[in-house]
C-alpha cells in the first residue's frame, strides 16, 4: 500500500508550484532529476519530466505490483519512458566545442545562437545525488551523441547499476537487446571520448587552484589567470557558439572581457556537475552587483584545463543564486 500524498517541498524553480506527490515518491526526486538531466542535457526539462513522472506514478498507483519491481525500479521505468518520448525527433544538446573549430580572434562578435538547444549545467548541491562523475559536463555532452535508447541503457546499467533484466523490463525489450545497446554505446563513447580523470572539487589542490583563479579574476589580473591555465585550456561560452583553445587566446579574450566590462567583479565559489564553479557578478551603479555568468571549471594537474561559461541569467535561477546582490552580502556568504 502506497502512502497518501504529502505536500512536496518548495517550488522546483522560481515561480513554479509543485503538485502534491506521495512522500515515498518524493524521496526519489533528486536521483530522478539527475537521471533525467543525464538523458536530456537540460536541468529545466529534467525538473519538468520528474514532476510528470511522479504525477503519472500517483495516478497509476493502483496498477503498481510490488511483486514485479521495487518502487524505485517502477519510477525509473516511468521516467525513462517520459524521457524517451520527450527526445523523439530531437537532436543533441551540444557545447560550442562540439560544433566547430576554435576561434583565434579575441575580438570576434559575441552573437548568441538562441536557436541551439545548448547543454545546461546541473546544480547537484540542491540534491542528494551519487555518481557525481557521471554528471560532469564533458560526460553529459558525450552521451548526447548516443541515440536515446542507447543513452538510457548506458545510464541505467553503468551509472545506476540496474541489472540487464531490470533495464529490459523498464524499456520493454529483451536482455539481449539491452546488452547489444550497451556495447554499441560504449564503442561510441570510446570514439567520442569524455573528460578522462575526475578530480573532485573538494580536493585540496583543486580548491587552491580555484581560489587563486577567483582572486585573479576579481583583480582583473589576466597574467595571473593565464599562469593558472593548462597550455591547451579551452574556454567556451554558450549560448555564444564561439570558443577558444590555448592559454594565449584564452588570455587575449579575457583582456577583452575586462576592457568591455570593467573591473570590480565579485565571484562566489560553488559546485556544478560535480565540478568547481564560479558565479560571477559585475558592479552596477549604487554599489550593487549584477549576475553575469556561471563558470564551470575542469581542473587537472594543478591547472584549469576547461572553462564553460554559461551567460544565460536563467542559470542563476536554477542554482538559486540572486541575480542582484550587494558586495557586502556576497562577501559574507562566501
Mean pLDDT computed over every residue of the chain: 89
Residue 292, CA atoms < 13 Å, CB-side half-sphere: 22
DSSP per-residue string spanning 15-32 = T--PPPEEHHHHTTHHHH
- Cα gap 243→234, rounded to integer Å: 7
Q: Do residues 170 and 238 both lie within one domain?
A: no
Q: Average pLDDT, stretch 46-72?
A: 90
Distance CA 83, CA 39 (A): 7
Check residue 312 and give its pLDDT.
Answer: 87
Spatial separation of the C-alpha atoms in residues 148 and 145, rounded to whole Å:
9
The verdict on residue 197 lying in a domain is no
Q: Work out the average pLDDT over 316-323.
A: 94
CATH number at residue 275: 3.10.450.50
Q: Is residue 263 part of a domain?
A: yes
In a domain, 113, yes or no: no
Say if residue 186 is in the same domain as residue 244. no
The cell for 15 is 515561480
Cα torsion through 119, 43, 90, 59, rounded to 10: 170
The DSSP secondary-structure symbol of 60 reads T
Structural domain span for residue 132: 12-106+120-192
User: Sign of the C-alpha dihedral, residues 253, 292, 298, 203?
Assistant: positive
Is the model's pLDDT at 306 over the cut of 60? yes
Q: What is the pLDDT of residues 186-207, one digit of tens each?
A: 999 988 875 455 567 878 999 9
Total number of domains constituting the chain: 2
Contact at 8 Å (CB) between 73 and 119?
no
When pLDDT is cut at 50, 70 and 90, the band that residue 285 belongs to is: confident
- 3 within domain boundaries: no
What digits encode the pLDDT tens for the residues 10-56? 344 433 434 566 678 889 999 999 999 999 999 999 999 999 999 99
On whether both 101 and 226 belong to a single domain, the answer is no
Cα–Cα distance, 68 to 82 (Å, whole number):
20
Say if residue 333's pLDDT is above 70. Answer: no
Q: Is the pLDDT of residue 59 over 80?
A: yes
286 close to 270: Cβ distance less than 8 angstroms: no
pLDDT digit string (tens) for 214-246? 999 999 999 999 999 999 999 999 999 999 999
Same domain, yes or no, for 212 and 163?
Answer: no
Can you give the pLDDT at residue 76? 96
Last residue of one domain, picked from the residues 170, 192, 214: 192
Residues 133-150: tens digit of each pLDDT: 789 999 999 999 999 999
pLDDT at residue number 329: 73
pLDDT at 331: 65
Asked if the structure places residue 125 within a domain, the reply is yes
Residue 264 has pLDDT above 80, yes or no: yes
84 touches 209 (CB < 8 A): no
Asked if residue 165 and residue 26 are part of one domain, the reply reads: yes
For the segment 71-83, the average pLDDT, to the nearest whole number, is: 95
Q: How many residues does the chain have?
A: 334
Residue 18 maps to which CATH number? 1.10.10.10
Q: Are 273 and 135 in contact (CB under 8 A)?
A: yes
182 and 97 in a common domain:
yes
Q: Is residue 188 part of a domain?
A: yes
**What digits encode the pLDDT tens for the residues 110-120?**
999 999 999 99
Amino acid at each position: 500500500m502506497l502512502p497518501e500524498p504529502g505536500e512536496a517541498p518548495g517550488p522546483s524553480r522560481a515561480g513554479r508550484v509543485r503538485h502534491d506527490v506521495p512522500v515515498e515518491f518524493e524521496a526519489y526526486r533528486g536521483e530522478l532529476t539527475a537521471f533525467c538531466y543525464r538523458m536530456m542535457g537540460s536541468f529545466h526539462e529534467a525538473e519538468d519530466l520528474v514532476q510528470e513522472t511522479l504525477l503519472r506514478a500517483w495516478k497509476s498507483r493502483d496498477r503498481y505490483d510490488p511483486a514485479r519491481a521495487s518502487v524505485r525500479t517502477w519510477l525509473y521505468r516511468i521516467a525513462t519512458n517520459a524521457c524517451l518520448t520527450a527526445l523523439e525527433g530531437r537532436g543533441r544538446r551540444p557545447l560550442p566545442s562540439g560544433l566547430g573549430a576554435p576561434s583565434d580572434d579575441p575580438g570576434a562578435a559575441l552573437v548568441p545562437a538562441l536557436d541551439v538547444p545548448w547543454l545546461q549545467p546541473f546544480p547537484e548541491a540542491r540534491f542528494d545525488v551519487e555518481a557525481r562523475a557521471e554528471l560532469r559536463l564533458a560526460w553529459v555532452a558525450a552521451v548526447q551523441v548516443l541515440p536515446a535508447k542507447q543513452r538510457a541503457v548506458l545510464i541505467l546499467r553503468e551509472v545506476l547499476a540496474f541489472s540487464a533484466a531490470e533495464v529490459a523490463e523498464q524499456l520493454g525489450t529483451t536482455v539481449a537487446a539491452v546488452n547489444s545497446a550497451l556495447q554499441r554505446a560504449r564503442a561510441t563513447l570510446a570514439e567520442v571520448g569524455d573528460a578522462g580523470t575526475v578530480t573532485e572539487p573538494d580536493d585540496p589542490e583543486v580548491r587552491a587552484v580555484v581560489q587563486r583563479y577567483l582572486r585573479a579574476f576579481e583583480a582583473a589580473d589576466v597574467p595571473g589567470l593565464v599562469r593558472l591555465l593548462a597550455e591547451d585550456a579551452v574556454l567556451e561560452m554558450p549560448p555564444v557558439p564561439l570558443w577558444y583553445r590555448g592559454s594565449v587566446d584564452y588570455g587575449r579574450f579575457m583582456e577583452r572581457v575586462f576592457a568591455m566590462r570593467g573591473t570590480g567583479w565579485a565571484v562566489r565559489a560553488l559546485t556544478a556537475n560535480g565540478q568547481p564553479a564560479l558565479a560571477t557578478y559585475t558592479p552596477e551603479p549604487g554599489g550593487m552587483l549584477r549576475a553575469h555568468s556561471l563558470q564551470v571549471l575542469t581542473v587537472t594537474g594543478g591547472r584549469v584545463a576547461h572553462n564553460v561559461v554559461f551567460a544565460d541569467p536563467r542559470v542563476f535561477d536554477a542554482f538559486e543564486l540572486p541575480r542582484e546582490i550587494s558586495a557586502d552580502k556576497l562577501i559574507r556568504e562566501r
